[in-house]
Amino acid sequence: MNGLLNNKWTRAAIPALLLHCSIGTVYCWSLVKADIAEYIGRSKGEVEWAFSIAIFVLGMSAAFAGRVVERDIHKSSLISTICFVAGFAGTGLAIQFKSLIGIYLCYGVIMGIGLGLGYLSPVKTLMLWFSEQKGLATGLAVAGFGLAKVIASPIMTALIDSVGIINMFYVLAVVYLIMMFAGHLLLKKPDGWVEAQGPAATKVGDILKNPTFIGIWIMFYINITCGLALIAQEKDILITMGVSAATVSLVSSLSAIFNAGGRVVFSAAADKLKDRNTIYKLIFILSIAVSVITILMDAVNNGIVFLAIALLCIINAGYGGGFSNLPTLLSDRFGMKSISQIHGLALSAWAFAGLTGNQLSSYIVSSTGSFNHVLYVTTVLYAIALVISFILVKSTKS
């Protein structure tokens, strides 16, 4: 019985999925923002900032909480559970009182803290239990973050239709409390594992000045920024092409599956490679290629729907793969001792990308009226990231 309850699946993979499948519903924001805006009498643009704040706080809380996670994963996973559930339920309350500031505070700040700690807490534990398949392990767990949109979207839509937007937040807050608390209780590092001797933690200043870390940070930031820029326009691109609402919903689920699949496939493939950075090079090359083809064929204006769908699916796969490969690439370069702290600092790139990605594409589209101009910008950014992957991210540990 002890073996059944104390193995890599019950102590690492399952709790990681319970945590990530809960917090990953932050990406269902596009499903609720219009209803929220209508209910509280505000514009969608004003309400949109709640999501940007959530992603920013996610990244910054992960950056500053790395040492807490390193010391005590149970404390960090419990704080994550409390903050995420309180923020989710609080969002419903803020909507009920038609408070935009309350939505920013609950969905953006409080829930954002829960997101950052919940995302970071299981990662090192996974890599310790799956020491020979680190990429596969982190890919499977982080895939939960991507799959959350696929799983939660129909549930949230059904709840909104049946009990309303406010009660939907209350009902799911209870569900996520159960899931995350179970994950918190199950999460555990391997028996007998002892932290390597030496300094308690790597100095933040030394990490931030390291050229390899800087290169990884910029690559990661660009990949998220470009991904969010296109993902944020997904629905509008398809509607502009005359695609039906039912097909838009189907494509949204398909792209989310590619997002989750990219997290598993790219990270598992990296386990077989001599250098995990090769995966990032592949992601950037694929993203550039599909973007250039879409531009040359003028797919959006010419109504080439299959090409637009291919673009969205490949970008989503690369977006997800960038997340799942980050902790293992960092562990290969800097070792496992302070990986939670280093991973947390790298996730600060997510914070800034959350503020720039969807806002960048919204600005370009509103200024030019063309989705192609978004692709021009993202293609150039992907090219810059590809150059950085060759020049700054060295193949040996720093």
Q: Give CA–CA dist 142/196, Å, rounded.
A: 26
Q: Give CA–CA dist 238/334, Å, rounded.
A: 42
Tokens 């769908």 belong to 309
- Same domain for 86 and 38: yes
Please choose, from the candidates 175, 119, 124, 186, the residue with its C-alpha nearest in 3D space to the C-alpha of residue 146: 119
What mean pLDDT is predicted for residues 318-343?
92
| Three-point CA angle 182, 183, 186, nearest 5° | 85
Domain boundary (134, 160, 186) is at: 186
Please choose, from the candidates 183, 248, 203, the residue with its C-alpha nearest in 3D space to the C-alpha of residue 338: 203
Contact between residue 273 and residue 163 where contact means Cβ atoms under 8 Å apart: no
What mean pLDDT is predicted for residues 176-181?
98
- DSSP string spanning 176-232? HHHHHHHHHHH--PPTT--PPSS-SS--HHHHHH-HHHHHHHHHHHHHHHHHHHHHT
Query: Residue 373, Cα to own-chain centre: how many angstroms?
Result: 25
> Which band of pLDDT confidence, cut at 50, 70 and 90, is reported for residue 150?
confident
- Same domain for 230 and 101: no
Residue 219 lies in a domain: yes
Range of the structural domain that residue 41 is part of: 1-186
Could you report the per-residue pLDDT of 12-48, keeping only the tens digit for each?
999 999 999 999 999 888 789 989 999 999 998 899 8
- Same domain for 219 and 135: no
Q: Give CA–CA dist 26/34, Å, rounded.
A: 15
Contact between residue 213 and residue 329 where contact means Cβ atoms under 8 Å apart: no
- Same domain for 167 and 94: yes
Query: For residue 200, what pLDDT is reported?
Result: 46
Residue 251 lies in a domain: yes
Cα-flanking dihedrals φ and ψ of residue 335, to 5°?
A: 85, 175
Please choose, from the candidates 281, 355, 358, 330, the residue with its C-alpha nearest in 3D space to the C-alpha of residue 120: 330
Domain boundary (186, 219, 252) is at: 186
How far CA 373 is from CA of 77, 138, 248, in Å, comes to: 41, 35, 22
- Does the structure show a pLDDT above 80 at 141? no
Q: Which stretch of 40-44, 198-202, 355-359 has the lowest confidence by average pLDDT?
A: 198-202
Q: Mapped to the 3 state alphabet, what secondary structure does 95-124 carry?
A: HHCCCHHHHHHHHHHHHHHHHHHHHHCCHH
The model's pTM: 0.87
Q: Which residues of 311-344 are buried (b: 16+ CB within 10 A; e: fewer)?
A: bbbbbbbbbbbbbbbbbbbbbbbbebbbbbbbbb
How many domains, the chain? 2
The CATH number that applies at residue 301 is: 1.20.1250.20
Please choose, from the candidates 177, 127, 133, the residue with its C-alpha nearest in 3D space to the C-alpha of residue 12: 127
- Same domain for 158 and 129: yes
Could you report the per-residue pLDDT of 206-253, keeping only the tens digit for each?
888 999 999 999 999 999 999 999 988 888 899 889 988 788 878 888
- Same domain for 152 and 233: no
**Which secondary-structure segment (H or E) carries 278?**
helix 277-296
- Same domain for 5 and 38: yes
Give the other-Cβ count within 10 Å of 156's Cβ: 20
Contact between residue 268 and residue 139 where contact means Cβ atoms under 8 Å apart: yes
- DSSP string spanning 143-158? HHHHHHHHHHHHHHHH
Q: Is 376 exposed, middle or buried (0-12, 13-18, 19+ CB in 10 A)?
A: middle
What mean pLDDT is predicted for residues 194-212?
71
Q: What is the dihedral of CA 126, 174, 92, 28, to 10 degrees?
A: 40
Four-residue CA torsion sign, 175, 267, 213, 335: positive
Residue 196 lies in a domain: no
Domain boundary (186, 219, 253) is at: 186
> Which band of pLDDT confidence, cut at 50, 70 and 90, is reported for residue 397?
very low
Q: What is the dihedral of CA 238, 378, 135, 116, to 10 degrees?
A: -80
Residue 46 lies in a domain: yes
- Does the structure show a pLDDT above 50 at 371? yes
- Same domain for 57 and 170: yes
- Same domain for 62 and 11: yes
Residue 195 lies in a domain: no
> Which band of pLDDT confidence, cut at 50, 70 and 90, is reported for residue 196?
low
- Same domain for 149 and 283: no
What mean pLDDT is predicted for residues 74-97?
97
Please choose, from the candidates 112, 123, 379, 153, the residue with its C-alpha nearest in 3D space to the C-alpha of residue 256: 153
Residue 289 lies in a domain: yes
- Mean pLDDT score of the chain: 90
- Same domain for 166 and 232: no
Residue 193 lies in a domain: no
Residue 218 lies in a domain: yes
End-to-end CA distance of the chain: 43
Q: What does the block give as tokens for 346?
A: 């790298």
- Same domain for 214 and 92: no
